[in-house]
Amino acid sequence: MGCTSSMYAVGRKKKKLIVPEVVVFVPSMPIPVQSDLQRPLRGLIPKDLADRLSCIRNQIVLVAEDTGGSAITELRRALEEYLSILIGLVKKEYGLEGLIEFKWKNLVDGRHEMCASNSWYELLSVIRLMAMLTLSEADSILIPKDLSGSGIRVVSSDCKRDAVDLLLKAAGYLEFCVRDVLVRIPPDIRKRFPKDLHDGVLEAISIQALGQGTEIQLGLAVECQKATLSVKRRLACEQLSYFSQAYQCLSGCDMDADNGYGKKHLWFIKWKFLGAKGNEPSGHVTAVCCFLAAEQLLSESKKACLNFCLAAPVTRAPPLWGAMKHLHQKIPEVASRKSQMYGYLLEQENALQVLPDLPDFQLSLRPDDYQLPQIDPAWDGEKWEVQGQPLKDHLKDSEDEIETE
């Protein structure tokens, strides 16, 4: 029996552990949970409209759960169709805003995050999911691939430019959430939101997307021989400004107390922020100070990267490229050489050891301007008939019944 057990044990294959590589960090992937949309709307809107609303939402649930959110094109198409119908529920003239209890959960851990009887909450969650899918798409095309079979993984310049467009699109979704949707949700409901729905977190992700878009532009400039030093320096300063703003937004949201993706998100922003602080000034003493400071920042950036990768769920960092590859190769060597050559000046000119302020450039990248789609034509209430009578009369009868009671 022992031999038989051993034989089966030898033949059993171990499941290979796959640690995903992350270029664009997607904090969490929210998906809707099946909810009863038809019963609360019965007799208030045409049955075929309520059926469509419920059917498309259930389709989003099934596709998201079956594919783990990887069917981005199919999900985006369904979300856009659902959104055009959902808009009707937030229109005041229909009076349907608080009738349905909408439920959402985190795709990764399956835990129910939030449920609320508020159509603006559903709208917020849908647009947020569209933003996360767009960030996920940007991440997928920025993962280096070995297309030639040479063993060298690369990302084409076209993919990098497409990724910038996607990042701006995602930033636009999130900016719309903060500016036009969150303000319409009652404070008592917002108090129950998980941290990743707070305005500071949504704003941080939006700015993070702009920072990574600038990071890609800087990488392309470093690889382009025609790009001037002033262009590279401006992009580097803008990148630092974006990640500094994102870090400040996220730091004010008490993410350390979050048991979900909060800590990992904070480490990601810190890693990017520290990596963006390297710069190359002129002047011997100032240069020595700055290169030594840059060397220390790169060391701290590596530690932040390691902490990000090890924070649950465990991930891998992509290979260095562009500006970061250049800085990791150049700064340690130049810092060592300049400190040997001009180190004696540091002792003579202690006052100059203060690092110079970076120039304050106007930021170039802006989120795409997102607007809600047109409301579905099925919401043309003048053509509605519910249970053999016009909708307006049906609602009037309901009000009369309430008054009589």
- pLDDT tens per residue across span 235-258: 988 998 999 999 999 887 876 555
**Residue 181 banded pLDDT, cuts 50, 70, 90:** very high
What pLDDT sits at residue 183? 94
Local structure of residue 343 (DSSP, 8 states): H
Enter the tokens of residue 107: 């795709």
Contact 372, 179 (CB under 8 A): no
Q: Which residue has the higher pLDDT, 374 or 275?
A: 374
For the chain, helix (H) and strand (E) counts, in that order, are 13, 5
What pLDDT sits at residue 132? 96
- Residue 394 clears pLDDT 70, i.e. is over it: no
Contact 281, 334 (CB under 8 A): no
- Residue 361 clears pLDDT 70, i.e. is over it: yes
Give me the helices (H) in 224-354, please.
229-251, 262-275, 284-310, 322-348
| Residues contacting 272, CB < 8 A, separation 6+ | 208, 211, 212, 215, 243, 246
Q: How far apart are CA 13 and CA 15, in angstroms?
A: 6
Cα 397 from chain centroid (whole Å) = 47
Express as a percent the part of the chain with pLDDT over 70: 75
Q: How far apart are CA 29 and CA 398, in angstroms?
A: 40
Q: Per-residue pLDDT averaged across 273-280, rounded?
A: 70
Contact 352, 289 (CB under 8 A): yes
What pLDDT sits at residue 314? 87
What pLDDT sits at residue 167? 97
What pLDDT sits at residue 345? 47
- Whole-prediction pTM: 0.82
- State the DSSP H helix or E strand holding residue 33, giving kind and residue range, or none if neither: strand 30-33
What pLDDT sits at residue 199? 92
**Residue 404 banded pLDDT, cuts 50, 70, 90:** very low
What pLDDT sits at residue 8? 41
What pLDDT sits at residue 280? 45
Q: How far apart are CA 346 and CA 353, in angstroms?
A: 7
Q: Per-residue pLDDT averaged across 165-189, rounded?
A: 96
- Residue 282 clears pLDDT 50, i.e. is over it: no
Express as a percent the part of the chain with pLDDT over 90: 40
Strands (E), 41-134: 102-106, 112-116
What mean pLDDT is reported for the chain? 81
Using DSSP's 3-state secondary structure scheme, residue 21 falls into: strand
Q: Which residue has the higher pLDDT, 232 or 150?
A: 232
What pLDDT sits at residue 320? 81
Contact 181, 174 (CB under 8 A): no
